[in-house]
Amino acid sequence: MPAATIQSVEPIEVAAPAGESSSPWSSTVILVRVTTTSGAVGWGEAPTTLMTHPVRESVREVARFYDGQPLTDHGACLRRFEVYSFYRSRSMEATSALSAVDIACHDLLAREQGVPVAALLGGAIRSRVRAYSNGWYSDCIEPDEFAKKAKAKVHEGFRALKFDPFGDAYRSLSDAALAAAVARVRAVRAAVGDAVDLLIEYHGRFLPEAAVRAGQALDEFHPRFMEEPVLPELCDALAEFRRRVRTPVALGERLLTPADFESFLARGLVDILQPDITNSGGFTYGREIAQIAAARGAPVAYHNAFGPIQTAATLQMDAVLPTFFLQESFEANWPEWKRALVRGYSVDHGEFRIPSGPGLGIEVDERAVERYRSESMEPIGPEPPWVIAGTWARRGAPASLAKPRATSRRKPATKR
């Protein structure tokens, strides 16, 4: 039987319907559907974060290297794209589009063989992974609000929680802003006890001196890690941060190539790696990053903040990682439209069970995909797009940063 040929690579934007609340950074998702001449379909996903339309158009560029090629030659397609994509190593648009197509090709190949993607990556060494909850602290500003919601997440079974306690501080950190952050973390620690891991999210927004001050002040609460403490363009300062702050440093969602991860480890800038499978080269580069981490004994905690196909793909990597650490999860705090896209995995008492079915081990609800098709852009509101809603200002309060939402045009749902 001749090998299946890639017939089409289609980027599909889906978005929150009118009236349903989503944080701006998670209000759109780019799915990629790869179809072969045999009619088989594989799925991938690319991140957005104020890059929805550029990433979607980059998928069309990547598609030109895959269209009409045998599915079994997808690796050669990726390497050919490397040659032509002059800015790939610094272009989130290029690597995200490439990642989505690579994930879809692996999904197709594994389905063709009737095995999970993990089998193509060397075979699973675990069937469950511990998750940490993120996104749980929406509408939290006061310490007692953080504490109440943290306790609820622990009641659901989570034993690790990530949150950003820094409010609207950016670049610098006043004494008052630092005191407020300390009060929030102290309240969460008191509410959940010492058996729960606290993970402190900085969102890569501080100058080095402010980051160090915050790190030293929060060390007393024994966080498991501090994520992206300094502005990414000042990453060399992480060496000084690691010398002066006891808590380990985690990062990786903005690193795009295996060489980036090797460089950060070699320069002593990071303790825990957080690749994002949807912007760091899918499974093909994912294997290389995992090998780098294994060679250096670096823990890996995949970044996973967007949609369900990202989660499904990430779980297949988790299954084979020699140095797996923790898995990020927003699922418990997702809006309904995002839950409707996929069936096949869940979070139960703070753990994911890794799907063992063919491919990514999930089924995509194509009717839901069509229902939520969109041409919209992420909203620009009172808070930056990377903020959990309601943590910079009360929802509905006047905000000087607010701007009109970009005009959007939603495609009508397709009847089936």
Catalytic residue chosen out of the listed positions 53, 74, 106, 303: 303
- Contact at 8 Å (CB) between 171 and 214? no
Known active-site residue 53: no
Q: Which residue type, as a one-letter code, is found at position 315?
A: L
Q: Which pair of structure tokens corresponds to residue 48?
A: 């957005």
CA-based diameter of the chain, in Å? 70
Residue 277 CB coordination number (10 Å): 29
Catalytic residue chosen out of the listed positions 53, 74, 203, 349: 203
Q: Which residue type, as a one-letter code, is found at position 343?
A: R
Q: Which residue type, as a one-letter code, is found at position 280?
A: S
Q: Which residues contact 404 (CB under 8 A, 6 or more apart)?
A: none
- Contact at 8 Å (CB) between 333 and 358? no
Smallest CA-to-CA distance from 314 within 186, 305, 323 is with 305
**Whole-angstrom Cα distance, residue 62 to residue 78?**
9
Helix, coil or strand: residue 14: strand
Known active-site residue 106: no
* Helical segments of 219-281, H only: 238-244, 258-266
Residues acting as catalytic residues: 203, 303
